[in-house]
Each structure stands twice: as C-alpha cells, then as structure tokens.
Structure 1
Amino acid sequence: MPRLIDHDHRNDEIAAAAFRVLARDGIAALSVRRVADEAGIATASLRRAFPTQDELRRFCFERLQQEVTARLLAVTGRGRERAMRWMRELLPLDDSRRTELLVQLQLSRLALTDDGLQGHARELHDGVHRVCAAVISELGETGGLGADIDPVLETERLHALLDGLALHLIWTSSTDPAVDVDRVLDRHLDSLAG
C-alpha cells in the first residue's frame, strides 16, 4: 500500500531546509540535491516537486512572503502599539526573522540579474512598503501623526529606516539588539507625532 504524503508538512520541511541552505551557504549552494540532503529526503522525490532550480527559487520567494504575511496579519493592538509590532516583525530580532532576511537578501541578489525572479523580489519590497504605509495610516487614524506630516513622504522615510535597521542588525554583535531597535523606533514615532 503506498504511503500517504502530507504535502503541507513536506513543503514546510523543504522550505525550512532551503532557508537553512540559503542563510548558511548562500545562493550558489541552493540546489535541489543540496536541499534534499538538508531535508533528509530523496533527491528524486524533491525533483518531482521542483524539477528545476528556478522552481525551487520561486518556491522560496513565495514561502518567505507567506510566512511574513501570516505574522503581520496576526498582529493585534491599536495605534502606536500595533505600529511598533508591525515594524518589529520586519526586523531580524530572532533567529527565524534573521534567517528570513538572509534568505531575502540572497534571493534578491540573484533577482538583480534573473528576469524570472525580479517580480518576486519586487513583491517582497512592495510588501514592506505597504506595511510602512499601514503604519503611517494607523498612526494617522489614532492621533499619532502631527498635523503637518506628509504620509507619502513618511512612508518612504520609514521604509528606508526599516531597511537600514534590518541590514544593521545582520551585522550587529549585540546580544540583545531589540533594546536599541525599540529606542530607534520609538524616537522615530515621536518625531512623527510632532
């Protein structure tokens, strides 16, 4: 009798293995064989799901977007509290989010020269921009923005701040970077309040 495969569980294992390979070894190491070895499954089995490296790369982009989106949608609260939680979800403040950022950087680097991946990289970038716009909108709706604030400009400024913080946190040796991040984000939100 053939074994039944839980495809969702299998995809979770494949995504986790691919993310580990990308974060640890870089984009050059991302291959069907390497991911199969990392996941502990047969290469032929993985190749049936992802016949080409391009399909595996697209899967990684899509999975990354799904995971971040799910976390963002789970954020609760209102006003400044919600804004802080959204911003923190986009930063590598734990091992999981650090791995996600490394995966995004590796895949986006490849997308610079791969037309088939550029749309996926752009969607991740645009997703961060939408979160920044949502933060500014949330603050505006709850009295957290000064009267003379330009929401379009502040969305751009927040996006740049979060991108910079994310890259800074990749290189920091601090054992608890969240403390400094919270101070930076609080200061930024104070500046928006006027």
Structure 2
Amino acid sequence: MPRLIDHDDRNDEIGAAAFRVLVRDGIAGLSVRKVAEEAEIATASLRRAFPTQDALRRFCFDRIHQSVAARLRAVTGDGRERAMQWMRELLPLDDTRRTELVVQLQLSRLALTDESLRESAADLHNGVRQVCSSVLRQLSESGATDPTLDPDLETARLHALLDGLALHLLWNTSDDPAGQADRVLQRHIDTLAA
C-alpha cells in the first residue's frame, strides 16, 4: 500500500529547508536541487511541486506572509498592548522572525530586478503597511493618539520606523534586543499622544 503524504507537513519541511538554504547560502544558493537535499526528499518529487526556481521563490514569500499573518491573528488584548504586540511580530526578536527577515531581504533584493517576484515582494511590503495602519487605528480607538494626526502620514512614518528598526536588530549585539525595540516603539507611541 502506498504511503500517504501529508501535504501540509511536506510543505512545512520544504519551507524550512528553503529558508535554511537562503540563510546559509543566500539567493544564489537557492535551487530546487539544494532544497531537496536539505529537506532530504527526491529532487524529482520537489520539482513536481516547484517546476521552476521562481515557483520555489514565490512559495518562500508566501510562507513568510502566512506565518506572520497567523501570528498577528493570534495576538490578543487591546489598546496600546495589542499595538505593541503587533509591532513586535514584525521585528526579528527570535530565531523564527530573524530567519523570516533574512529570507525576505534575500528574496526582495532579487525582486528588484526580477519582474516575476515583484508582486510577491510588494505583497509583503503592503502587508506591513496594513499592520501599521491597524496599529494606528488600535491606538486611536483607545485614545492614545492625537485625533488631528494624519493617518496616512503616520502609517508611512511607523512603517519606516519598523523597517529601520528591523534592520538595526539584525546587527544588534545588545543583550536585550526586545527591550531595546520596546523602548523605541513605546517612545514612538508617546509622540503620537494628544
């Protein structure tokens, strides 16, 4: 009797293997063959699911999007604390989020010159913008912001802050990167108050 394959588990294995290859070897090292080796599955089997490198790269973008979205949906609470939790989820404060950011940066660099990846890169970028907008709406609804603020400008400003902070945290040698990030984010929220 043939062995049944759990496709979700297989996709998790493939995604984790592709991320390890991207973190270790960079975008130049990402190939169907290398990911198959890393996942310990047959290259032909992986090639059926991902016939091209572009398909594998888009799959990696989708995995990041799905992972971040699931974590954001799991956030509870309200007001300032909920806003802080949403922002923390976009920062490389643990191995998973650090890996996702490195993978995103590797793939986004390629998307600058590869039209087939541009939409996937833009989707992630726009997703961060939507989270920033939700953060500001959450803060506004809890009375933590000046009601005269321009929401579009503040969304852009928060997006830029989070992008910059994420890059700084990649190179952080501090013993408390989460504490450092929280101090920056709390100070930013304070500047939004009435």
TM range (shorter): over 0.9
Correspondence for 1:192: 192
Supply the AA of the counterpart residue of 2:21. V
Q: How many residues align?
A: 194
TM-score, with length taken from structure 2: 0.98
* SS of residue in 2 equivalent to 1:149: coil
Q: Which amino acid aligns with 1:91?
A: L
Amino acid at match of 1:112: L
TM-score (norm 1): 0.98
Deviation sequence 1:66-98 (CA, Å, 0-9, x none): 111111111111010000000000000000000
Match of 1:128 in 2: 128
- Rounded to whole Å, the distance in 2 between the matches of 1:146 and 1:185 is 17
1-side partners of 2:175 and 2:34: how far apart? 31
SS at match of 1:193: coil
State the distance in 2 between where 1:7 and 1:150 align: 45
TM superposition outliers: structure 1 runs of 4+ over 3 Å? none
Work out the CA distance in 1 between the residues paired with 2:9 and 2:157.
39
Moved more, 102-111 or 172-181: 172-181
**Does 2:140 correspond to 1:140?**
yes
**Partners of 1:77 and 1:23 in 2: CA distance:** 33
Residue pairs, 1:49-68, within 5 angstroms: 49-68=49-68
Structure 2: which 5+ runs fail to align? none
Conservation of the 8 A alpha-carbon contact between 2:23 and 2:103: yes
Unmatched segments (≥5 aa) in structure 1: none
Identical-residue share of aligned pairs (%): 72
- Shift in Å, 1:165: 0.2
- Aligned match of 1:151: 151
Cross-structure match for 1:9: 9
Task: Indicate the residue corresponding to 1:178 in structure 2.
Answer: 178
Letter in 1 for 2:175: T
Which residue pairs with 2:165 in the alignment? Answer: 165
User: Which digits, 9 at most, give the CA deviation of each residue in 1:97-131, with x for residues without a partner?
Assistant: 00000000000001001111100000000000000
Displacement after TM superposition at 1:180 (Å): 0.7
